[in-house]
Amino acid sequence: MDTVSLSGKELAAAINADTKQRAAALTASGTAPRLALIVANDDPASAWYVNSLRKAAERLGIACDTIELGADASTERIRDELTARSADSAVDAIMLQTPLPAGVTLDDVSSAIAAGKDVDGVSPLSLGLLASGLDGFVPATSEAVVELLKHHEIQLAGRHVAVVGRSNIVGKPLAQLLLAENATVTICHSRTTDLPAVTSAADIVVAAAGRIGLVTGKHIREGATVIDVGTNEAPDGKIVGDVAAETVRGKAAALSPVPGGVGPVTTALLMRHVVTAAENSRSA
């Protein structure tokens, strides 16, 4: 079986073209949209992603302030920074990059992000709006998975999707988005008994656990669609996913690559969220 590559580059380009036009209109009418990117780690994969966000913002006409708090920043220090940026009228959007320092959880600090600026949808309020089916910013990576599947015309309604990973950043919000598309969703995690048996029963498998090579050919059935959300640093320094791609090709009908699959779409959606937040702020 030939495995189709589910590239996200074409979709990301289309989203970016619209975002750039909207950002230019905001700039022409006053000031450019502004994103505050808060970083409190020294993780290589995170640094790679932050750099890609900065470059994307620059290309699209979005001002991006990167605030490095250090990998030893305390809960109080991070909350204070988020609170200050939330109150700053010059800042339209806030993103808190993960991972966070040891002993600090997203639950500890995310509530300090104002909902109208929470462009990655990580605060309890944003997640609650999503779970309730109400308007708010959706976690961009989760949204990117759904948008990538739609772009490649992969049906979701009535399909069984197994999501490997239950984080508040990807797994749980993705389940909500898939349910809204009328998919049947199973969330798998570290306590799932016989993971291959669960995932191989699904039409679509989404790997979002943050472990290199976790999903292999034995985890999927013939003809399944596989979406790889992972961005992990391999021993050779390359960014790789959660799927052992070489064991999946030839068995899966379709597979998203890493890099070049979910990643570009996630970044494009985040930038679109920033512009939307700026538009909402200007019209308030």
- Binding-site residue positions: 165-167, 231
- Binding-site residue positions for NADP(+): 165-167, 231
Alpha helix stretches (DSSP H) within the chain:
9-29, 44-60, 75-87, 106-109, 124-132, 140-151, 171-180, 195-199, 245-248, 262-283
| Distance of alpha carbon 185 from alpha carbon 211, whole angstroms | 21
Q: How distant, in Å, are the alpha carbons of 112, 231, 236, 265 from that of 84? A: 9, 30, 39, 29
Phi, psi of 18 (to 5 degrees): -65, -45
Note whether 144 and 266 are within 8 A (CB): yes
Lookup: tokens for 21: 């036009």
The DSSP bridge pattern shows strands 239-240 and 232-233 to be antiparallel
